[in-house]
């Protein structure tokens, strides 16, 4: 029993740890992925506001010192084959200022602060234009490509960009992912054109995947470490409960043996007293209570022995059908006397490997319980039939009172009775079904109770 308790403790603890780890991992990775989307959409919004370019980047690329070389064009030659005149020295720099501005430190500083304020206002770094890889495609109302710009990315050519844009043009969403490219659709009502801007998120998504793998590996290592600690310390946690239970069981056993002697003496003295004074109502009542106390003591000792882990039970193959038929015969007569209907459906030639004496007691307990709590004119049915996983022993009876669904799960508890007033008219102590459960458990079976309509009770034991 305590091995099962320890196993359940480990399973419940590790299931709780696993659930917490999954929640933490999911939350962290979702937040990480959400941040990537927010950053990507922020950059795409800036590009959309500036016609697919970062502010100042277009001037720098068109007017910079190497702009002609970047376009793959050679400087034009004069008609007589001589080199063209030198370019003027007022070219525009990346931030939109001319070279003459470099001679004015104050103006340069103002422009620098202006760019910084722009980037800070949009929540991005000044290095973002140089780190980002992006391209854009413009389409008319019919979905025909009118312009494409792939200057700021090397992994995508014009044909690939146009194929991406054609695929997205058919969609109704304004943003999304195509592979590792985050895209944003922008419609211009004046020109009736649609510009689709793509941002390469390969590095960001790769970081997200790496972070996911890292969190999974770390969580697995942590889960394994916690499991090892729980397994090591679970025995120590369960030990006080086991010691307390062993002491309780030992007390019941010792008390039962100690009570047997005085009960036997009292019963013998009552018999001698009856011989001297004759039959008496008081003697009969004392003998009845002594017998009930003796039965209670025997039941407690039996339960204590059934719970012993090393209990030696003589397991043999015996004819179960014959045993159930034999035991039920005595209860048929009792049912007739109590004006109750008793029916049985016992499959012949069934055998069981177990303790024959304990199985006899199991059948007796179930039938006695059914007869005891069924009203006059009620019905009791006994079924013994083979099942896929064993042999089913089922006893069903109508009840004199409505059964509370919450009480069904407690029927196998010791000293539990549905009659909360604990009326002794039925003669029970609430130990019968507890003993039945102990017998079935000792035979590696399962016993359950059910009440479908609240007016009947079905006890099913799968052996």
Domains of the chain: 55-59+93-131 (no CATH), 132-200 (3.30.450.30), 316-462 (3.30.565.10)
Residue 403 has a CB neighbour count (10 Å cut-off) of 20
Residue 363 · residue 393 · CB < 8 Å:
yes
Instruction: For residue 403, give the H/E element and its range.
Output: none
The answer to whether the CB of 439 falls within 8 A of the CB of 361 is yes
| Cα–Cα nearest to 115, from 99, 92, 96, 91 | 96
| Integer Cα distance of 51 and 416 in angstroms | 80
Please answer whether residues 395 and 458 qualify as being in contact, where contact means their C-beta atoms are separated by less than 8 angstroms. Answer: yes
DSSP β-bridge partners for residue 147: 138
Closest to 366 measured CA to CA, from 382, 349, 342, 348: 382
Per-residue pLDDT of the chain (463 residues; tens, 9 = 90+): 677 788 888 899 999 999 999 999 999 999 999 999 999 998 998 888 888 888 755 444 444 434 333 444 444 444 444 444 444 444 344 444 444 444 566 665 555 555 556 555 666 677 788 888 999 999 998 889 999 999 999 999 999 999 999 999 988 889 999 999 999 998 988 888 999 999 999 999 999 999 999 999 999 999 999 999 999 888 888 778 777 777 777 777 777 777 777 888 888 888 888 888 888 888 888 888 888 888 777 777 777 777 664 455 678 889 999 999 999 988 888 888 888 899 999 999 999 988 888 899 899 989 988 888 888 888 999 999 998 888 999 999 988 777 777 778 778 877 776 655 445 555 556 778 888 888 888 888 899 988 887 788 899 999 8
456-462 β-sheet, strand order:
341-346, 379-387, 390-398, 456-462, 446-450
Rounded to the nearest 10 degrees, the angle between the axes of helix 202-277 and helix 281-306 is: 150
């Amino acid at each position: 029993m305590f091995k099962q308790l320890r196993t359940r403790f480990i399973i419940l603890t590790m299931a709780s740890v696993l659930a917490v780890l999954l929640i933490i991992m999911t939350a962290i990775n979702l937040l990480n992925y959400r941040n990537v989307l927010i950053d990507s959409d922020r950059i795409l919004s800036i590009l959309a506001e500036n016609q697919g370019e970062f502010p100042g980047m277009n001037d720098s690329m068109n007017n910079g010192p190497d702009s002609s070389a970047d376009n793959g064009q050679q400087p034009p030659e004069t008609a007589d084959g001589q080199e063209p005149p030198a370019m003027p020295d007022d070219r525009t720099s990346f931030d939109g200022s001319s070279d003459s501005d470099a001679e004015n430190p104050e103006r340069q500083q103002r422009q620098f602060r202006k760019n910084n304020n722009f980037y800070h206002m949009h929540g991005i770094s000044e290095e973002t234009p140089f780190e980002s890889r992006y391209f854009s495609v413009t389409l008319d109302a019919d979905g025909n490509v009118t312009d494409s710009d792939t200057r700021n990315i090397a992994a995508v050519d014009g044909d690939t960009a146009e194929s991406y844009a054609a695929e997205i043009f058919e969609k109704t969403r304004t943003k999304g992912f195509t592979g590792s490219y985050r895209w944003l659709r922008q419609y211009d009502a004046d020109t009736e054109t649609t510009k689709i801007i793509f941002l390469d998120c390969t590095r960001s998504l790769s970081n997200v995947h790496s972070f996911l793998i890292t969190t999974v590996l770390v969580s697995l290592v942590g889960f394994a470490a916690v499991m090892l600690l729980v397994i090591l310390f679970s025995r120590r946690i369960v030990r006080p409960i086991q010691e307390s239970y062993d002491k309780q069981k030992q007390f019941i056993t010792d008390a039962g043996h100690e009570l047997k002697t005085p009960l036997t003496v009292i019963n013998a003295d009552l018999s001698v007293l009856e011989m001297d004074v004759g039959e008496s109502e008081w003697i009969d009542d004392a003998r009845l209570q002594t017998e009930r106390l003796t039965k209670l003591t025997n039941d407690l000792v039996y339960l204590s022995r059934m719970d012993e882990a090393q209990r030696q039970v003589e397991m043999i193959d015996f004819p179960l059908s014959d045993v159930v038929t034999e035991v039920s015969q005595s209860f048929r007569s009792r049912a007739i006397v109590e004006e109750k209907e008793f029916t049985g459906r016992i499959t012949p030639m069934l055998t069981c490997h177990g303790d024959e004496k304990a199985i006899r007691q199991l059948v007796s307990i179930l039938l006695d319980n059914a007869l005891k709590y069924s009203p006059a004119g009620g019905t009791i049915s006994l079924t013994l039939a083979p099942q896929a996983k064993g042999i089913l022993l089922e006893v069903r009876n109508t009840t004199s009172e409505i059964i509370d669904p919450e009480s069904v799960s407690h029927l196998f508890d010791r000293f539990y009775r549905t009659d909360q007033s604990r009326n002794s008219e039925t003669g029970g102590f609430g130990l019968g079904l507890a003993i039945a459960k102990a017998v079935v458990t000792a035979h590696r079976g399962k016993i359950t109770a059910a009440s479908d309509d609240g007016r009947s009770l079905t006890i099913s034991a799968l052996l």
